[in-house]
């Protein structure tokens, strides 16, 4: 047969496998192979060779990483079943940077069990068991897994379509799987089990709670070590831990999951973010509005949200009438627009709201501030003429990037999300909206990727993802062009021709959800917020009681300059109080004693531990006030 490989055509023997063929190819490192792509299909290396095109799949390919880690999940599942007889298997996919498997176990696991499971995985790797693919009828597979007591696999099989399914075996272990996989367990080189979690079967809170084991796997030991270091750094930056340690916010089971309680210092930081947004919106001609939290259900039917978003909405009935706790702010802004006639001279009309919304999220996906049920958006809706659309989109993007850079973010990825399968409106309206967004990105010279089918149901959108200090991407600003909402609500303005016309609506957020941005901000800075954002910018530490009067005079002088300052007058040692300020990540600690009292100076210790003595109080005040005014993103004191 003829096989085309790396741009050349080769003769191959019938009956050979993909690996047989590749083993004869010059420059192919057999032990680095993961799988192959045969005539466009991903296949195991043990698959029969076919005439046509053949491509390698190696670790450098995303598909290669997924196959490698999926094999690791099978090896882990085999280890768990050997160590804990009676285990029932659920699902075990590869995920970004790793893998997991969900188990129904006869006993509860603890973190102490992970090294033991890892050790058994090592033994399975040493056995170098081949992973063999089998194609069987669905009925045979149901009978097999039922005989093994694997109820979850039986349930999956009964929901599948088609008469044939694929199984993979390695030694005595068998799993339902599409594949492909590594040729044998011995090809799995470097892995680490990371954590345990609970997970409902199929994400359904009414179904059994399973035990999930997370792990990761890499082709090279140095890559695994680098990733484990990254995880350690991410843990150090975890905003949930920082929130507790810095006394910023909390969650309470009594109040329900996914709703945030801001403590005094945490509310200060939130207020700083909101004040920035109010000021910058005012500069750009936005008008602030406030809309209710509770609307009649019929409004959401009219907007289309009930048809496309109901499962994420809090809907209830009172006095025979349907009500909704608002998941979006846009219908409220539309109602304000409709309160009086609008002229082309009024447009663009920009309504801005720090609007708190509520969306149902399954408890299993809630994650600190990053995924909540109640959050506030810096939400705006711009009502404009179609000929103003591109200019307004460009202004929104410039505003978003200015804001993100002000808070210290420098790297971004931008996506143009197009029409999803479930959507409203004509193809023509979607095309006009999509072209307007694309042309704005091109005009501003912003590189972007197309994200097919990821728009919202009423229009396409631009998504900006921001990269934090350790390279993670987070969802940030969005800009959405909407021709459909004006149609649904019959929005109009009077044009130059004195006739009614339909406006376009731009939905946009600058920082997006305040809660999520707050969490990302904490993780980006590892809690070491720059002075302009720090809830407490300065703490004054008197050496002895006799220095307390001077410490309070220092506090008053700093407060007059608008600096947030506290005096630590606890009866503890100076070193303990300085240490406490460092742990609280306060930018500057001022130690005052006899010398400072006599000279009107302060001894400055910055967050990095640098000490500068004898700094005139006025000089310190001016410098910190300037740092705050200029919104610098460091807290270094250079004397």
This prediction's pTM: 0.86
DSSP count for the chain of H helices, then E strands: 19, 33
Same domain, 257 and 224: no
Tell me the pLDDT band of 483, cut-offs 50, 70 and 90.
confident
The CA distance from 632 to 621, in Å, is 15
**373 & 412 share domain:** yes
Instruction: Collect all residues with Cβ–Cβ distance below 8 Å to 143 and sequence separation of at least 6.
Output: none
Q: Write the CATH number for 469.
A: 3.30.930.10
Task: Give the count of beta carbons closer than 10 Å to the beta carbon of residue 629.
Answer: 10
DSSP 297-344: HHHHHHHTHHHHHGGGSEEEEETTEEEEE-S-SHHHHHHHHTTS--BG
313 to 119, 148, 300: CA distances (angstroms): 46, 41, 10
Q: What percent of the chain has pLDDT over 90?
A: 83
Question: Which of 16, 39, 58 marks a domain boundary?
Answer: 58
The three-state (H, E, C) secondary structure of 360-372, written as one string: CCCHHHCECCCEC
Buried residues in 246-269 as b, exposed as e (16+ CB within 10 A): bebbebeeeeeebebebeebbebb
Provide the residue range defining the domain that includes 567: 538-630
Strand-pairing partners, residue 592, are 542
pLDDT score at 639? 45
Q: 61 exposed, middle or buried (CB, 10 Å; 0-12, 13-18, 19+)?
A: middle
444-448: which pairs have CB atoms within 8 A and are 24 or more residues apart?
444/394, 444/397, 444/398, 446/397, 446/414, 447/414, 448/414, 448/415, 448/416
Q: Are residues 204 and 307 in the same domain?
A: no
Q: Are residues 440 and 362 in the same domain?
A: yes
Q: 529 lies in a domain?
A: no
Structure-block tokens of residue 359: 């969306």
Spatial separation of the C-alpha atoms in residues 371 and 363, rounded to whole Å: 10
* 503 and 425 in a common domain: yes
**Over the stretch 59-76, which tens digit does the pLDDT of each residue have?**
999 999 999 999 999 999
Residue 341 lies in a domain: yes
Q: Is residue 454 part of a domain?
A: yes
DSSP string, 587-616: SEEEEE-HHHHHHTEEEEEETT--EEEEEE
393 occurs within a structural domain:
yes
156, 281: one domain? no
53: left (phi over 0), alpha (psi -120 to 50) or beta: beta
pLDDT digits (tens, 9 = 90+) for 255-305: 999 999 999 999 999 999 999 999 999 999 999 999 999 999 999 999 888
pLDDT at residue 476, as a whole number: 94
Domain of residue 604, CATH code: 3.40.50.800
Task: Answer yes or no: are the C-beta atoms of 109 and 100 closer than 8 Å.
Answer: no
Q: Can the peptide bond before residue 348 be classed as cis, meaning omega within 30 degrees of 0? A: yes
CA dihedral 114→115→120→125, nearest 10 degrees, is: 100
Higher pLDDT, 1 or 221: 221
* Separation of alpha carbons 603 and 470, rounded Å: 33
Report yes or no on 533 lying in a domain. no
Residue 211 scores a pLDDT above 80 = yes
CATH number at residue 71: 3.30.980.10
* Predicted local confidence at residue 1, as pLDDT: 82
Mean pLDDT of the chain: 93
Encoding tokens for residue 258? 């996914």
Is there a single domain that holds both residue 272 and residue 218?
A: no
Tokens coding 225? 């070590």
- Mean pLDDT across 473-500: 93
**Whether residues 462 and 416 fall in one domain:** yes
Supply the CATH number for residue 41's domain. 3.10.20.30
The total of structural domains in the chain comes to: 4
CA 302 vs CA 298, 330, 337, 465, 488: distances in Å: 6, 12, 16, 31, 7
Nearest to 433 by CA among 475, 476, 485, 471: 485
pLDDT at 430 over 90: no
Partners of 190 in the β-ladder: 218
Instruction: Judge whether 245 lies within some domain.
Output: no
- Decide if 34 is inside a domain: yes
Please provide residue 69's backbone torsions phi and psi, each rounded to the nearest 5 degrees. -75, -30
Of residues 307 and 560, more confidence is placed in 560
Judge if 293 and 353 occupy the same domain.
yes
Q: For residue range 399-419, list pLDDT tens digits in order.
A: 999 999 999 999 999 999 999
Helices (H), 51-164: 62-83, 113-127, 138-147, 151-159
Q: What residues are labeled active site? A: 330, 359, 377, 379, 381, 461, 507
- Which residue, 583, 588, 501, is CA-closest to 537? 588
Res 638: pLDDT? 67
Name which of 632, 628, 626, 637 is nearest 564 in CA terms. Answer: 628
Task: Name the percent of the chain lying above pLDDT 70.
Answer: 100
Instruction: Identify whether residues 26 and 80 lie together within a single domain.
Output: no
Residue 531 in any domain: the answer is: no
- In the listed set 493, 522, 551, which residue is the last one of a domain according to the structure? 522
Q: Is there a single domain that holds both residue 83 and residue 163?
A: yes
Do 93 and 201 lie in a common domain? yes
């Amino acid at each position: 047969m003829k096989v085309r490989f790396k741009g050349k055509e080769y003769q191959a023997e019938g009956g050979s496998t993909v690996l047989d063929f590749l083993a004869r190819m010059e420059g192919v490192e057999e032990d680095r192979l993961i799988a192959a792509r045969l005539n466009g299909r991903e296949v195991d290396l043990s698959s029969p060779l076919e005439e046509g095109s053949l491509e390698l799949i190696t670790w450098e390919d995303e598909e290669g990483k997924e196959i490698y880690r999926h094999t690791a999940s099978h090896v882990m599942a085999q280890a768990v079943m050997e160590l804990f007889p009676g285990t029932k298997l659920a699902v075990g996919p590869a995920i970004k940077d790793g893998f997991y498997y969900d188990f129904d176990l006869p006993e509860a696991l603890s973190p102490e069990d992970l090294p033991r499971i890892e050790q058994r995985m090592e033994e399975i790797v040493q056995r170098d068991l081949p992973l063999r693919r089998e194609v069987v009828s669905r009925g045979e597979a149901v009978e097999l897994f039922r005989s093994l007591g694997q109820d979850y696999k039986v349930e999956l099989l009964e929901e599948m379509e088609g008469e044939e399914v694929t199984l993979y075996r390695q030694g005595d272990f068998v799993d339902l799987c599409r594949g492909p996989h590594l040729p044998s367990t011995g090809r799995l080189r470097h892995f680490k089990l990371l954590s345990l979690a609970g997970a409902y079967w199929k994400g359904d809170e009414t179904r059994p709670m399973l035990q999930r084991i997370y792990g990761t796997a890499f082709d090279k030991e140095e890559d695994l070590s680098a990733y484990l270091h990254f995880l350690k750094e991410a843990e150090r930056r975890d905003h949930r831990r920082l929130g507790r340690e810095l006394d910023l916010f909390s969650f309470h089971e009594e109040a329900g999951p996914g709703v945030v309680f801001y403590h005094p210092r945490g509310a200060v930081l939130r207020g700083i973010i909101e004040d920035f947004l109010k000021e910058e919106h005012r500069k750009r001609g936005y008008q602030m509005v406030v809309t209710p939290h509770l609307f009649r259900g019929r409004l959401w039917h009219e907007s289309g949200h009930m048809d496309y978003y109901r499962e994420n909405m809090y809907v209830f009935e009172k006095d025979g009438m349907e009500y909704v706790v608002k998941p979006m702010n846009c219908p409220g802004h539309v109602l304000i627009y409709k309160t009086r006639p609008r002229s082309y001279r009024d447009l663009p009309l920009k309504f801005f709201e720090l609007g708190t919304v509520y969306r149902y999220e399954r408890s299993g996906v809630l994650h600190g501030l990053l995924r909540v049920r109640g959050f506030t958006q810096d939400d705006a809706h711009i009502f404009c003429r179609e000929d103003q659309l591109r200019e307004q989109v460009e202004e929104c993007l410039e505003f978003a990037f200015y804001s993100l850079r002000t808070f210290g973010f420098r790297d971004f990825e931008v996506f143009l999300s197009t029409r999803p399968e479930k959507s409203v409106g004509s193809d023509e309206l979607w095309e006009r909206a999509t072209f307007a967004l694309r042309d704005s990105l091109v005009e501003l010279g912003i590189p972007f990727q197309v994200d097919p089918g990821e728009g919202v149901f009423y229009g396409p959108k631009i998504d900006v993802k921001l990269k934090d200090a350790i390279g993670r991407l987070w969802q940030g600003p969005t800009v959405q062009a909407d021709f459909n909402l004006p149609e649904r609500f019959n929005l109009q303005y009077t044009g130059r021709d004195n006739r009614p016309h339909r406006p376009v609506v731009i939905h946009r957020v600058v920082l997006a959800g305040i809660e999520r941005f707050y969490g990302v901000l904490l993780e980006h800075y590892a809690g070491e917020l720059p002075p302009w954002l720090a809830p407490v910018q300065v703490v004054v530490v008197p050496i002895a009681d006799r220095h307390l009067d001077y410490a309070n005079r220092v506090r008053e002088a700093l407060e007059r300059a608008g600096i947030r300052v506290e005096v630590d007058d606890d009866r503890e040692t100076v070193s303990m109080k300085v240490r406490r300020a460092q742990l609280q990540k306060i930018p500057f600690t001022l130690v005052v004693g006899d010398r400072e009292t006599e000279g009107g100076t302060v001894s400055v210790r910055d967050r990095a531990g640098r000490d500068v003595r004898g700094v005139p109080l006025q000089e310190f005040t001016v410098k910190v006030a300037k740092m705050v005014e200029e919104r610098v993103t460091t807290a270094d004191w250079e004397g």
